[in-house]
Structure 1
Amino acid sequence: MHQRIILIGFNILEDCLLKINQKEVFLENLGTKFVSDLGTFSSYNKWIKSEYSQVDKLDES
Structure 2
Amino acid sequence: MVCDSALYSQENLKLIQHLKWITRVPMTLKKAKELVQNIEIEARTDDKKQKRSNLNLEGYT
Instruction: Give the number of the structure whose residues are more often helix, by fraction.
Output: 1
Flag the structure with more relative contact order, 1 or 2, with Cα contacts below 8 A and sequence separation at least 6: 2
Which TM-score band applies after superposition, normalised by the shorter structure? 0.3 to 0.5
Instruction: Give the number of the structure whose residues are more often strand, by fraction.
Output: 2
